[in-house]
Structures are given as C-alpha cells and as structure tokens.
Amino acid sequence: MKRMKTLVYAHRGSSKAYAENTRAAYLQALADGADGIECDIHLSSDGFVVCHHDPTVDRTSDSTGRVGEKTLEELKGLDFASWKNPSIPEEFGALNEQLVTLRELVQLMQNAGREIGLAVEIKHPSPFGRKLEEAMLAELAFLGWEAGDSRIGNIYITFMSFDPGSVRYLLERIPATHVCQLVTEVDEEWIDELLLAGDADRAGVAAVLAQAMTHGVELLDSGVPQLAGPGVAYVREHPSTIAGWLARGATFRVWTVDDPKDATYLVGLGVAQLTSNVPALIKSHLGA
C-alpha cells in the first residue's frame, strides 16, 4: 500500500526565520512550500480578527497591554518583527505591516497559486467569549467560506482549540472532519501565559487548565472530533492513548515538530500532519 503524503504545516508561519504570526513568516512559509499555515487568532477591541498568539503584545512587540484592549489601528502601529528578525525583505512588507488580520492572511494564501491548508487556532480564554468564534466564522463567510467543504478557493480551512468548549461550539456548526481538539500537558509556561492575561491565581489557573485537558481527552476518546492535535511530548508520554485514537481513525496533526528525528518517529506511528517552525527542513527530511 502506498503511504499517504505527510502534510507539513508552518507553525505561526515559518517562525524560525521571522517573527511568529507576521506577514513575513507567512510569506516565507509559502515560499518554503509548506502544505499549510497555522495561525492563532484574537479579537481587537473594535472587533477585528487578528493573527497573534499571546493574550498580550508584551512578548512580541515594542509595546505592552492586552490585544483585546487595543484597536486594529493601534495594533497595526506596533513593531511585531524586530524582536526576532528586523531584516525583512522588501517584498515581505515593512515593519509596520507585519501584523495581519485573518482576512489579510487568507488573501495572501489565495495568491499562493496552489492547494494549501489553513489551520486556525482559536485562543481562549478570550475577554470576548464566543464572540471570537462568531467573528471568525462571519469573516470567513464574507470571504466565501462554507461549512460543508470548509474551503475558500484553493484554501482548505480547519479549526483548532485547546478549549473543549470552543471545540464543542464549532462541532455544532462545522462538520467534525474540519475540527481539531488540541491537547498537551499543563506546564508552567502555559500557566504563565494565562497569568499575563490578567488571571492572578496560579493554582486556580492550573486547575482550570487541567480540567480543560481532561475534557479535551474525553472528546477525542469519544471519536467526535476527527482531528487530534497533541504535542510531540504528549505523543511520547501517552502511547496507549495515542494508539487508541489512531485505531479509531483520527487524523493527527502533531506540533511542534522541528527535529527531523521526531518527524521520522511520528510518521512511523501513522501521523498524517506535522506542524513545524521550520517546514522546509521537515519537508526536505521527509521527501515530502
């Protein structure tokens, strides 16, 4: 039997080369031949769906504050690139053009001239609750997306979240084949990320995250979401759970796969999709 091609998604774009979730990182991912692009989304204070990972801009810009408390114009005025690599080719845009909206990312990908995937991670907790999902779906619908085939022209779109509530919300509106439940171990880095968003109780945050991951695993055990999104460490630490999900036919999209040895191991297990900061390296290693 011929082995199916392993798809390699660019994690927040080609984010080893350029700052994550920026125009430059996304355009580099297209140039690298990535099979798909993964992005994270939040809402600006004036309701625009923007591509950004953290709940605040502190780590990735020349400013501070929560994404949800800034207008799109204010966000567009920040430098999201220099912390990583300020040497951006002219064709990848100026420093003040690096933050993009979800609509702008789709438009960049429409120009790829080939079939490509877009994996949208919905970031929670959000100060806007499910308005984040509503705004995302409305924006995609405006661009021509329909839930049935989850496509906009050459772009196939899937949706992901660590939040089981978000996944359940999406499953009520989108076929399960397009929805991914993300799972990971609760670690200090994740707790710190949420503390930056304004939560003050470290123990409380840890408990909420642990409960969310328990519910996420239960969802995947149920066989409802068709996409499973564990991290590499989770795959290695929970072999029986992973074997069960594979046996019931889940499609795996594992993150963040930057080591060729991890890529070889995962493909050997039957993992169909890998997410990487260095998609060109992983594709070359796999001969994909």
Q: Which residues are catalytic?
A: 11, 53
d(CA 164, CA 167) in angstroms, rounded, equals: 5
**Residue 125 and residue 156: Cα distance in Å, rounded?**
26
> Which helix (DSSP H) or strand (DSSP E) does residue 164 occupy?
helix 164-171
Residues 11, 276 contacting (CB under 8 angstroms): yes
What Rg do the C-alpha atoms of the chain give, in angstroms?
18
Residue 39 to residue 144: CA distance in whole angstroms? 19
Count the neighbouring beta carbons within 10 Å of the beta carbon of residue 162.
Answer: 20
Measuring CA to CA, which residue among 232, 27, 15 is closest to residue 110? Answer: 27
SS3 277: coil
Handedness of CA 219, 167, 149, 287 (dihedral sign): negative
The residue count of the chain comes to 288
**Residue 6 structure tokens:** 């392993």
Helix (H, G, I), strand (E, B) or coil at 116: strand
Cα dihedral: 15, 20, 24, 30 (round 10): 50
Count CB-CB contacts under 10 A for residue 96.
12
- A 10 A CB-CB count for 184 gives 17
